[in-house]
Copies of this chain bind each other. A is one copy, B any other.
Amino acid sequence: MTTALIVHYSLAADNLAHAQERAVAIAHEQTAELSPEVIRMVAPDTALRGEVLSVDAAAEDYTARIAFGLDCLGPDLAQLLNVLFGNISLQDGILIHHIDWPEALLHTHGGPLLGIEGMRDLVGVHNRPLLCAATKPMGLDSASLANACAAFAEGGMDLIKDDHGLGNQPTARTLERLTRCVDAVAESNARTGHNTLYLPHISADRRRMEAQAEAAKRAGCRMVLVNPGLVGLDAMSWIRDDYGLGVMAHPAMVGGLMRAKHGFTPPVLLGDLFRLAGADAVIFPNTGGRFPRFDADTVADINQHLRNPMGSLKPAFPTLGGGVNVARARHWMDHYGNDIVLLIGGSLYAQGDLVGASRRLREALESQA
């Protein structure tokens, strides 16, 4: 087991010597931020910096492995992000495609509270994918959104999350929306015997976000929806630790950090990092939807990074969204296995009758399960 964080980069470079030069520059840029010459003058024995382990030619570019000692990091997600990609985000052609995680670091950040099994226990569904609906659109009042919740719960959806675009708009203020939707789902559950969970979107400047998390906790929610790209990666571990709530993570805004040749690959960012920071479920676009960058291989890779063993961390639920169609739900279950959440929005609403649409969807999954 390594005691350093080992980061695997794909580097654009003119030749091997240039790639080696870039790797050394990264090892310094992300830590001491001084050139080797100045470090020798100022702090020859004490400066912390990355160590270039290898630089190799790859198919189209170069691969470099750089080790960062855990002393570079400290206890915070912010500094982990900073060492991984802080200053070099301002450069070009640097892609993090793999990270070797030391167990000590996994332990520091902790990962999911519930994980896949914990979420399955909450909704009482163990032998098929979970089904998730979304309250939308922005502009509806809280009563109408709560009506949609009631219908989805009545129809047997396992999870109902707020649309991530529902912030604290005047048309449906977060705290009122939260209360009404919780009540609507609880009433449906009492009638049907389902254990449908409602996940309010918790998103605001800090003090208001605390009030939202507090309200979710008080109302009996067990999970919330969080956008780490909008409110900070540490928002997830904060929700986990301070409120004991599970987290479904949304990928809004972090697309900028997942360019084809610069940033993180989607499996590293949405898989490793989101899971590390406390996501129990991670939403990302399924292949074939509105987001062409997420092809079949990428989706399969993200699934693996969320579900496969990762030291002491619990596995997290891949949550496929971005245009998942009711008619294809069964296909995706057969394709990706049972341990997924299918997030279905527009194609439920398009059927008009939300109760019937939800019921048919659930039956389609359960018919041969």
Contact = CB atoms under 8 A, between A and B. Distances in A.
A14 interface: no
Given A75-B168, A231-B232, A42 B137 contact: yes
A42 B349 contact: yes
A73 B167 contact: yes
A34 to B, nearest CB: 5
A77 B262 CA distance: 26
Interface string A35-76: 101110111001111000000000000000000000111111
Interface stretch (A5-13, A200-208, A301-309, A310-318): A200-208
Copies in the complex: 2
B167 A76 contact: yes
B230 A139 contact: no
A78 B137 contact: no
Contact of A293 (B87, B92, B169): B92
Given A137-B47, A140-B47, A85 B169 contact: no
A86 interface: yes
Given A82-B253, A170-B74, A46 B141 contact: yes
Interface in A271-311: 285, 290-294
Interface string A234-274: 11011000100000000111111111001100000000000
A352 interface: yes
Interface string A203-228: 11111100000000000000000010
Nearest to A168: B74
Contacts of A352: 41
A91 B163 contact: no
Contacts of A252: 82, 86-87, 89
A161 interface: no
A164 interface: yes
A94 to B, nearest CB: 10
B91 A291 contact: yes
A246 to B, nearest CB: 18
Given A32-B137, A32-B165, A71-B171, 19 more contacts: A34-B136, A38-B350, A43-B140, A46-B171, A47-B140, A48-B137, A49-B138, A72-B165, A73-B169, A74-B170, A78-B203, A79-B165, A79-B167, A79-B169, A79-B203, A86-B252, A205-B238, A207-B238, A230-B232
